[in-house]
Amino acid sequence: MNADATNASSANSNAPRLVKPEGGFMVTLDRITNKIMTWLTYRGVSILGSRILAVRGRKSGEWRTTPVNLLIIDGERYLVAPRGHTQWVRNMRAVGGGELRLGKKVEPFRATELDDADKPAVLRAYMKKWAWEVGYFFGDVNADSPEEELQRIAPGFPVFRIAAA
């Protein structure tokens, strides 16, 4: 199992899980994929729900942007942080919402973070749709893993339900 992908999801760790790029093939592939997805999304082309997430910085108040995958399950919309407790997650917690951008379309939203117990179904759906892009962040857990495994890793993967502002 990839230690980075689970470093804070174990019961012995008090630090929130955060996967930072460290080099190697997967990081290079991730950077290339992010650049392509960002370029396309800024031009109004969504790849399987890609958006640009804009959230105000919790300290600076400046807009911060990052590419994300918008997941829709039964009409509910979610954002999942496969890298863990990133800066956009911390900013989202502080400000409670942001904007989803696709080309020139800007959609303000409110965000509510899910409890760990409510995450497994969302994580499973997320992995089914985007394992080709972000599967390595989940280590040896995948969309076909038992519910207990998804529950075990849930604390390391912030998930937000979003609604129109």
Amino acid identity of residue 65, one-letter, is: T
pLDDT of 2 higher than 60: no
Tokens linked to 91? 């900013």
The larger pLDDT score, comparing residue 36 to residue 104, is at 104
Number of domains in the chain: 1
Q: Which residues pair with 55 in a beta bridge?
A: 64
Phi, psi of 27 (to 5 degrees): -65, -40
Domain that residue 151 falls in? 3-164
**Model confidence at 100, in pLDDT bands (50, 70, 90)?**
very high
pLDDT of 3 higher than 60: no
Q: What CATH code is carried by the domain that includes residue 89?
A: 2.30.110.10
Q: What is the 3-state secondary structure (H, E, C) of 30-93?
A: HHHHHHHHHHHHHCCCCCCCEEEEEEECCCCCCEEEEEEEEEEECCEEEEECCCECCHHHHHHH
The larger pLDDT score, comparing residue 30 to residue 104, is at 104
Query: Going by DSSP bridges, is the β-strand pair 63-73/97-102 parallel, antiparallel, or unpaired?
Result: unpaired
Instruction: Output the CA angle 28-56-106, nearest 5 degrees.
Output: 85
> What is the value of pTM for the model shown?
0.83
Q: d(Cα 74, Cα 23) in Å, to the nearest integer? A: 38
Q: What is the mean pLDDT of the chain?
A: 88
Q: d(Cα 23, Cα 21) in Å, to the nearest integer? A: 6
**Model confidence at 35, in pLDDT bands (50, 70, 90)?**
confident
Torsion of CA 60, 61, 67, 71, to 10 degrees: 130
Helix (H) or strand (E) holding 102: strand 97-102
pLDDT mean over 20-38: 72
Handedness of CA 151, 123, 154, 99 (dihedral sign): negative
